[in-house]
Chains A and B, each alone.
Chain A
Amino acid sequence: MEGALLPIIVFLLVYVALTFELVNKAVAALFGVMVLLIMHVVDEHEAVSYIDTETIMLLLGMMTIVAILRRTGVFTMLSVRIAALTKGSPLKILIFFSVVTALLSAFLDNVTTVLIIIPIVIELTRGMGLDPKLYVISQAVISNIGGTATLIGDPPNIIIGSKVGLTFNAFILHLGLPVAVCFGVGLFYLWFTNREKFRPIDTDLTKLFGVQLLLEKIRNEFLTTKIDRVFLTKGLSCLALAILLFVTQTVTGMSPGVVALAVAMLLIMITNIDVEHLMEEIEWTTLLFFTGLFILVGVLEEKHVLEWIARNVFLRVGDNPYVIVLMVLWVSGIVSGFLDNIPFTITMIPIVKLMLESTPIPNDILWWALSLGACLGGNLTMIGASANIVSVGIAKRHHVDISFLDFMKLSAVITLITLVISSIFLTVFLWVSL
Chain B
Amino acid sequence: MKNEDRQNLYKLFRDHGDVLGAHGTALVSLEAFIRSIQDLKCTADKLESLVTELIQSIKNAEPQITPLVHLIEEFETEMTGQFSDDVRATKTKITAVLNAKIDRLKQIGEQMTVSGLKCIDRYDVIIVYSTSASIRDTLVKANKIGKPFEVLILKQDFTKTRKLIWTASGEKIDHEVIPEYNLSNFITKANKFFLGSISITPDHKAVCPLGSAEVVSLCHLNNIPVYLFANSLKFSHKASGDHRIHEKKESRIDGQTSYSMTIHSHCIVDLNHVDFIVREDGVIPREAFCKTSGC
Contacts and interface: CB of A to CB of B under 8 A. Distances in A.
B295 to A, nearest CB: 35
A224 interface: yes
A216 B50 contact: no
B54 A206 contact: yes
Contacts, number: 75
Among B4, B28, B51, B159: residue with most chain A CB under 10 A: B28
Contacts of B1: 206
A184 interface: no
B140 interface: no
Given A213-B12, A213-B28, A214-B12, A205 B40 contact: yes
B36 A129 contact: no
B28 A216 contact: yes
A129 B39 contact: no
A216 B57 contact: no
Interface string A182-220: 000000000000000000001111111111111011001
A87 interface: yes
A119 interface: no
A211 B4 contact: no
Interface size class of B (residues with CB under 8 A): 20 to 34
B40 A127 contact: no
Contact of B162 (A202, A209, A210, A224): A224
Among A87, A210, A211: residue with most chain B CB under 10 A: A210
A210 B51 contact: no
Given A202-B41, A205-B36, A213-B28, A129 B53 contact: no
DSSP class of A's interface residues: helix, strand, loop or mixed? helix
Nearest to B9: A210
Interface residues of A, number: 23
B223 to A, nearest CB: 37
Given A129-B8, A216-B28, A202 B19 contact: no
B35 interface: yes
Contacts of A206: 1, 5, 9, 50, 53-54, 57
Given A203-B41, A217-B15, A209 B54 contact: yes
B33 interface: yes
A224 B165 CA distance: 12
Interface in B37-65: 37, 39-42, 50-51, 53-54, 57
Nearest to A215: B32
A216 B32 contact: yes
Contacts of A203: 40-42
DSSP class of B's interface residues: helix, strand, loop or mixed? helix
Contacts of A216: 16, 28, 31-32
Interface string B96-120: 0000000000000000000000000
Given A87-B39, A217-B12, A217-B15, A209 B32 contact: yes
A208 B40 contact: yes
A119 to B, nearest CB: 15
Given A87-B39, A213-B29, A216-B16, A205 B8 contact: no
A409 B40 CA distance: 35
B276 interface: no
Nearest to A126: B8
A208 B54 CA distance: 10
26 contacts: A87-B39, A129-B2, A129-B5, A129-B8, A202-B41, A203-B40, A203-B41, A205-B42, A206-B1, A206-B50, A206-B57, A208-B36, A208-B39, A208-B40, A209-B9, A209-B32, A210-B9, A210-B12, A211-B36, A213-B9, A214-B12, A216-B28, A216-B31, A217-B19, A220-B16, A220-B19
Interface of B: 1-2, 4-5, 8-9, 12-13, 15-16, 19-20, 28-29, 31-33, 35-37, 39-42, 50-51, 53-54, 57, 159, 162, 166, 170
